[in-house]
Amino acid sequence: MEPDRTLPTIALVVPCYNEQAALPETLPVLLGVLSTLSGSGRASEDSFILCCDDGSTDRTWDIIAEWHAREPRVKGISLAHNRGQQNALFAGLMTVLNSTTADAAVTVDADLQDAPEAIIEMVDHFRNGDDIVYGVRSSRTTDSWFKRNSARWFYGLQDRFGLETIPEHSEFRLMDRRALELLSEYGESNLYLRGIMPHIGLQSSVVTYARAARMAGESKYPLSKLISTSIDGITSFTAKPMRLIFMIGLVLLLTDIVVAVWVLMSHIRGIAISGWSSLMLSVWFLGSLVLISLGIIGEYIGKIFVEVKHRPRYAIHHTLL
Ligand code: UDP
Ligand code: MG
What is the per-residue pLDDT across 23-35, written as a single tens digit (0 to 9) for each?
999 999 999 999 9
248-255 long-range CB contacts below 8 Å, 24 or more apart?
248/291, 248/295, 249/288, 249/289, 249/290, 249/291, 249/292, 249/293, 249/294, 249/295, 250/288, 250/292, 252/284, 252/287, 252/288, 252/291, 253/285, 253/288, 253/289, 253/292, 255/284, 255/288
User: What spacing in Å lies between the alpha carbon of 50 and ligand 1's midpoint?
Assistant: 15
| More confident of the two residues 20 and 272 | 20
271 DSSP 8-state letter:
-
Residue 124 has pLDDT above 90, yes or no: yes
Pocket of ligand 1 (CB under 6 A): 15-17, 19, 54, 82, 84-85, 88, 109-111, 113, 214, 219-221
Question: If pLDDT is split at 50, 70 and 90, which confidence band does 4 have?
Answer: low
Mean pLDDT of 98-121: 93
Question: Ligand 1, closest atom to CA 15?
Answer: 7
Mean pLDDT, all residues of the chain: 87
Q: Which ligand has an atom closest to residue 228 CA?
A: 1
CB 108 within 8 A of CB 115: no
If you take atom 17 of ligand 1, which residue's CA is the nearest one? 220
Is the pLDDT score of 3 beyond 60? no
pLDDT digits (tens, 9 = 90+) for 249-266: 999 989 988 988 988 888
The tens digit of pLDDT for each residue in 193-211 reads 888 898 888 899 999 998 8
Give the confidence band of 310 by pLDDT, cuts at 50, 70, 90.
Answer: confident
In percent, the amount of the chain with pLDDT more than 70 equals 97
Residue 252 CA, ligand 1 centroid: distance in Å: 43
Q: Per-residue pLDDT for 1 more than 60?
A: no
DSSP code, position 192: -
Lowest-confidence region among 106-110, 111-115, 124-128, 276-280:
276-280
| Res 5: pLDDT | 59
Between the CA of 91 and the centroid of ligand 2 the distance, in Å, is: 19
Which of the four pLDDT bands, split at 50, 70 and 90, describes residue 154? Answer: confident
